[in-house]
Amino acid sequence: MMTTQTWLAGSSLIFPQIINISSSSSSHNLTATASEGHYCKSGKKLSASSLIHTTRGRVYCTSMASSQNIKPKPADELQFHPTIFNADRQDETDVLIECKDVYKSFGKKHILRGVNFKIKHGEAVGIIGPSGTGKSTILKIISGLLAPDKVSCFRILLVQWPLFISFGEVYIRGRRRRGLISDDDMSGLRIGLVFQSAALFDSLTVRENVGFLLYEHSRMPDDQIQQLVAETLAAVGLKDVEDRMPSELSGGMKKRVALARSIIYDTTNNTIEPEVLLYDEPTAGLDPIASTVVEDLIRSVHVKGQDAVGKPGKIASYVVVTHQHSTIKRAVDRLVFLHEGKVVWEGMTDEFTSSTNPIVEQFASGNLDGPIQY
Ligand SMILES: Nc1ncnc2c1ncn2[C@@H]1O[C@H](COP(=O)(O)OP(=O)(O)OP(=O)(O)O)[C@@H](O)[C@H]1O
């Protein structure tokens, strides 16, 4: 088991906090643990009931929820520009992430059984499907927290020579990811994973939490980080909270701080890479209004949206795993439906409720009768 502050060989992702992640694939074991006994650069002891896997690049495993200071706009006032998905006119150069025949089993449980889909630049994609079908698992595989299984087909050629064919891969900008998290595989794209649960370092201030990556791994001077933290907090509708401790924040504020932490980046780095955010059930457990606020916040940090201070968002594409109809309608443009470990339907959000696919129809209506059986 890896403990906190562990550097993964050759990795390019940073995990300020990961909750309840575990994996035992290949040589990398990722397990969420408490961060007791670990210190950040400033010498402060990190305390949180969460794990930190810190590596050089960045996947931000943070949290997300209601942003109480941002008032939701009515849907008809929102200026979103959905990416038109047209299978016939797909431009492969726009593809940021591709899951190609991805398999994943946990022991004898075969969860993913050949998952195929692509995420293009500018897209806002929802992954939906029945419970336990592997939605969170595919997010963890995309972010590099879990490795897909290698499935080998044993074939006997006519000459009786065995041929092994391996498949099940994630491609990041057309390059196959090797192993779990690797610098080579991830260069050119930053991927953030935003967990539903709050996961701030209790012993650090809001400023230190949001600027964690920059304080630890950039050469930016402190005053520049301080300014960037303030700007990023303003982007998610928070002001004058930098010096507060997480215990002094409401639950919704904590989750906004976590979102700020997931979108901050080193502005002195010449190569500004596009960023993809993966949200795992960001509106689960929220009341309808709080859900709307979060859905708009997700839109606002996207390149096609505007943040709380009117600046265009920076997230190139995002993927949301959700069960909430409101989130499906408001926060994403295209849907990927997973069932029994495979993509059984893809379509635009407005096609979801009119689909005649029996699986989608049953899911959309909540009917007990149909192909989905619990
Ligand atoms: N690390 C793990 N070890 C063993 N089993 C796991 C692990 N991670 C996930 N699973 C199992 O894989 C299955 C799929 O889990 P996953 O969380 O991906 O489903 P999901 O579609 O996101 O479900 P839900 O909609 O209920 O959140 C579940 O049966 C789960 O128990």
Q: What is the pLDDT of residue 139?
A: 92
Identify whether 107 is part of a domain. no
Mean pLDDT for the stretch of residues 92-106? 89
- When mean pLDDT is compared across 133-147, 307-321, 329-343, the lowest value belongs to 307-321
Give, in degrees to the nearest 5, the angle at Cα 109 between 104 and 112. 30
Residues 292, 300: contact at Cβ < 8 Å?
no
Flag whether 64 is in a domain: no
Mean pLDDT of 35-49: 54
What residue owns the CA closest to ligand 1's atom 3?
Answer: 106
- Residue 40 CA to residue 216 CA, distance in Å, equals 7
The closest of 17, 352, 11, 2 to 208, measured between CA atoms, is 17
Please indicate whether residue 84 or residue 212 has the higher confidence score (pLDDT). Answer: 212
190-194/275-280 β-pairing: parallel
pLDDT at 90 over 80: no
Q: Is residue 246 part of a domain?
A: yes
Asked whether the whole model's pTM tops 0.80, one would answer no
Protein residue whose Cα sits closest to atom 26 of ligand 1: 131
CA of 276 to the centre of ligand 1 (A): 22
Q: Which two tokens stand for residue 30?
A: 């990722």
Give yes or no for a contact between 204 and 248, defined as CB atoms under 8 angstroms apart.
Answer: no
The pLDDT score that the predictor gives to residue 133 is 93
* Mean pLDDT for the stretch of residues 95-107: 92
CA of 53 to the centre of ligand 1 (A): 21
* Ligand 1 mean position, distance from CA 110 (Å): 11
Question: Total domain count for the chain?
Answer: 1
Q: How confident is the model at residue 45 (pLDDT cuts 50, 70, 90)?
A: low
Residue 11: pLDDT above 60? no
Residue 248 lies in a domain: yes
User: What pLDDT does residue 92 have?
Assistant: 67
Q: Parallel, antiparallel, or unpaired for β 30-31 and 22-23?
A: antiparallel
Ligand 1 mean position to 313 CA, how many Å?
31
On whether residue 215 sits in a domain, the answer given is yes
Residue of 99, 104, 109 with the most ligand 1 atoms within 8 Å of its CB, for mutation: 109
Query: Does the residue 23 lie in any domain?
Result: no
Domain residue limits at 348: 122-146+183-365
Q: Which two tokens stand for residue 129?
A: 């499907």
Report the CATH number at residue 217. Answer: 3.40.50.300
Of the candidate ranges 43-52, 118-127, 354-363, the one whose mean pLDDT is the lowest: 43-52
Q: Please, what's the largest Cα pairwise distance for the chain? A: 73
Is 177 inside a domain boundary? no
Angle at 221 between CA 215 and CA 226, to 5 degrees: 70
pLDDT at 67 (0 to 100): 35
Query: Does residue 264 register a pLDDT over 90?
Result: no
Least confident of 115-129, 131-145, 175-189: 175-189
What is residue 59's predicted lDDT score, i.e. its pLDDT? Answer: 43
pLDDT mean over 166-192: 69
343: in domain:
yes
